[in-house]
Each structure stands twice: as structure tokens, then as C-alpha cells.
Structure 1
Amino acid sequence: MYDYTEDGDAAAVWAQWALLQPNLRIVDTETTDLYDAEVIEVAVMDGLGATLLHSRVRPVHRIAYDATEAHGITADLLRDAPDFRVIYPDLRRVLDGGYVVIYNADFDTPILNRSAELWSLPNFPMQPYCAMLAYAAYYGDWSDYHGSYKWQKLTAAARRFGISTRGAHGALADARMTVGVLQGMAGYVKRPSHGQGS
């Protein structure tokens, strides 16, 4: 059973606080690859789950086969999509001054900036908070080997709170799941037992 550790409680308090921020921005992206990637879909939601921005994006470089296997987005689907420089002004407007939360921020943030750099656009002036690290502490599965809490997949975190994972690995669905996980951590849905669900 989950033992309600101090770190888990702190993560729950953080989630409560984050959801109270009127400028909360939940961001998710889908990308061309895991490394040296570009954004090919981006979604931004507020803390209530309202969509503030959602767009597919035509990349400069090709989409890796493994990436398409994960998210199902092909070059053909992006043929008529705007490129990143077209969506950049709207994305900056939505994110500037926002309290930005991303599930696995260390992955998405550099890719957003790399996509901007490909068009000689400024990086995004944000220091996002990582919902994945917060949920790892909340869930409480410690790794002695890594000296930290084990990361949990977004879909697994969502299922533990009874949140639908339909459309997983799409930016909009993943942003919606992240909102739900924050709400779950904050206590708006029943707190799960450690190890419950998969």
C-alpha cells in the first residue's frame, strides 16, 4: 500500500497549488524522433482542461519510423499543416507568463526550443515544472539504484486515477491526461494505493 510519504504529500500540495494558478499552462508535444527532434503536434490546456492551442506542425526533417509507430503521425498527415514559424507567435502568446507544466519536461522543452531555432526564432522563456517527477514522488516507488523515485508512464498514471487513455500519444489527449493526473494528485479524485492499476 502507498504509505503517504512526506514527498508524496508534498507532490499533492504542489498539484493543488498549480491548479489554483490562473495562468497554468499544460503542454504536450509529439515529435519526429526521440533525439534531435522537432515538434509535429503541440497542445496547450489550462487547469480546467480547456484547449488554448492545438496544432499539428509540418517538420523540416523526416519523421522517424519508430516515432510514427508510437503516435501514428505520418508525413502525409502533415502535408497541409503549418510549419513551426507559423504557429510560433500563437504559442508564444499562450505560454509567455504562464505557469507551465509538462509531463517529462526535460524531453519536451528542448524540442520546443530546437523547433524554434530551426527557423531562427528565440527560445521559449519558460522554466516548466515536470508533472512526471511530481507524480513519481507522489506514487512513491523508490529506486535505490538511481537514488530517486521511478518514473511512471503518463498512461499508467492516468489509469490509476480512472482517467481515459483514449488517443494516448496524441498531444491533445496527453495534455488532457496530464490535467487529470494533476487533479488526481490534488485529491479531486480518489488517491490510489501504491501499485494499483497498470
Structure 2
Amino acid sequence: MALNTPGDRWVVLDTETTGMPVTDGHRVLEIGCVEVVRRRLTQRNFHVYLQPDRESDEGAIGVHGITSEFLRGKPRFAEVADEFYEYIKGATLIIHNAAFDVGFLNNEFALLGQHDRADLSQYCTVIDSLAVARARHPGQRNSLDALCKRYGIDLSERTLHGALLDSELLADVYLAITGGQTTLSLAGNGADGDSGGREGSEIRRLPASRQPSRVIMASEAELAEHAARLEAVAKAAGGPALWG
């Protein structure tokens, strides 16, 4: 699976719900979105708690801790639907286990009779970060908690699930898993002395105001010297160099 995503604007998205599955009448009660433009967090996020007009399952409350009392007086989805649609329209959505959140959000639009909006894939590109993680780390645990630990991302604030916090964590994870914005300790923490860009890596966010670095191309003389060096390495090793 390709790890690069189309478009310059990503929206890392998560929801919390009254329970599951959506076919049992469960509803969205929190939406959290983090905007990333050209691999930089913009701080232009979208976050809302919603009145779902039904009780949450005890199991769901145990996961997110959001009670009916807390949601009393919060807006209904109908009140934020236009703003939310305009926020995500045309973006690449990064969602962990995307089918779950997309199914619930499609249902919320359908309940309003907004059937032209009831299929996010028609106006957004949807990337399932869980599938990306499984392709990168086959046979390993790829929950958000596990990925944060693997990439050295601070989980100290995550005592319960929360849509905005989980989106912020997933943004860091996705930037790391697709090869961006990490600082690597070459000494590493593992026995082999090399973190490999995974375990032991520390995530560093680049400020949105940071200007792109200037690219300096190698000269003809430098390229020729490089080629000669590779040839010498190949002769000494009895085979081609592993880099070019």
C-alpha cells in the first residue's frame, strides 16, 4: 500500500459514539479533527461535542467517559452539519479504522435527509491509517496506543479516549509512519544501536511558519566523485554497494 496521500490538505479525524454498531441506532457524540497542510499542523482544528438524543451504552462511557449530563445543552449534529461539511470537503481524511467513523458520519448526514453528503468518499479521499500501519508493521499490534508507544509519542494525557486528543496523536503517528517530522537518535535504545526511525524515535512538529529548506543539487564533479567512490566500495566488497 502506498504511504503517500494525495492532496496538500489532510484532516485527521476521530469520533466518539454512544456505542456500536450504527445499525442499532447509535449516534455520534463527539467529532475531533486536526488539519495538516503540506505535513505541517496548522492548529486550525474542528472539535464539537454533540447531543445524540439517546443514552450511551455503559461500555462506551467506560471508553470515553462522556455522560448524558455532560452533553446536556450541547448542539445537535444538524446545527453543525454545514460547518463540518465545509471543513472536510475536498480534504484527505486520515482515520484509524476508517469504516467505523465514516459509517457513523454518513449516517448522521442521512438522518438529516442530506443524502448528497451521506457518502464522505464522494467529496473526500479517505485513508485508513490502520490499514497503512498493518502494511508497515505486519503481525504487530497497530492500535493507536501501540503505535504511539512504537514511535515514542507521549500518551500521558490519554487516560480516556477523546476525539480531538486521539486525532492529535494520530496526526503525529501518521506523520511518523509516512516518514516525516521525526528526530532520530543514531545511538538508539535497542540492542542493535539503531532505532530505524521507529521505536525510540521522538516526534518533533515543525512550526507552520517554518520556510521550506533550500535544495542544493550536487555538481557534476561531485556526482563523478560519488560514482567513483561507489565503484571502489563495490570492488572492495565483492559486490554492488547497497546505496546509490
User: 185, 198, 220: which is aligned to 1:192?
Assistant: 198
> Equivalent of 2:144, from 150, 154, 165?
154
Higher RCO (C-alpha under 8 Å, 6+ residues apart)? 1
Deviation at 1:77, TM superposition (A): 0.7
Query: Identity over aligned residues, as a percent?
Result: 24
CA RMSD of aligned residues (A): 1.9
Give TM-score scaled by structure 1 length.
0.79
Task: For 1:174 and 1:92, locate their aligned partners in 2 and report how far apart those are by CA, in whole Å.
Answer: 20
> Residue 133 of structure 1: which of 131, 134, 150 is its match?
131
Structure 2: state its 5+ residue gaps. Answer: 185-196, 200-244
How many residues were matched structurally? 171
Equivalent-residue separation in structure 1 for 2:108 and 2:82 (angstroms) = 13
Deviation, 1:119, is 2.5
Partner of 1:147: none
The aligned counterpart of 1:145 is none
**1:184, distance to aligned residue in structure 2 (A):** 1.2
Name the counterpart of 1:23.
9
Q: Work out whether residues 102 and 120 of structure 2, in 8 Å CA contact, stay in contact via their aligned partners in 1.
A: no
Partner of 1:57: 50
| Contact 2:9-2:91 within 8 A present in 1 as well | yes
Q: Following TM superposition, by how much is the alpha carbon of 1:106 offset from its aligned partner in structure 2, in angstroms?
A: 0.9
Please identify the structure whose Cα radius of gyration is greater: 2
User: What is the distance in 2 between the residues matched to 1:164 and 1:41?
Assistant: 22
How many angstroms does 1:115 deviate by? 1.8
Q: Deviations over 1:116-174 (max 9, x none)?
A: 22222331432411001101111121xxxxxxxx6621111112111122235100111
Pairing of 1:115-134 with structure 2 (within 5 A): 115-122=108-115, 123-126=118-121, 127-134=125-132
Cα displacement (A) at 1:80: 1.5
In the alignment, the residues of structure 2 paired with residue 21 and residue 152 of structure 1 have an alpha-carbon distance, to the nearest angstrom, of 25
Q: Is the 2:12–2:35 contact (alpha carbons within 8 Å) kept by the matching residues of 1?
A: yes
Structure 1: gaps spanning 5 or more residues: 1-6, 142-149, 194-198
In 2: Cα distance, 1:130 partner to 1:177 partner:
15
> In 1, Cα distance between the equivalents of 2:168 and 2:7?
17
TM-score, with length taken from structure 2: 0.65
The Cα shift of 1:51 comes to: 4.0
Q: Distance in 1 between matches of 2:119 and 2:91?
A: 11
Cα distance, 1:22 vs structure 2: 2.3
Tell me whether 1:114 sits opposite 2:112 in the alignment.
no
Show the counterpart of 1:175.
167
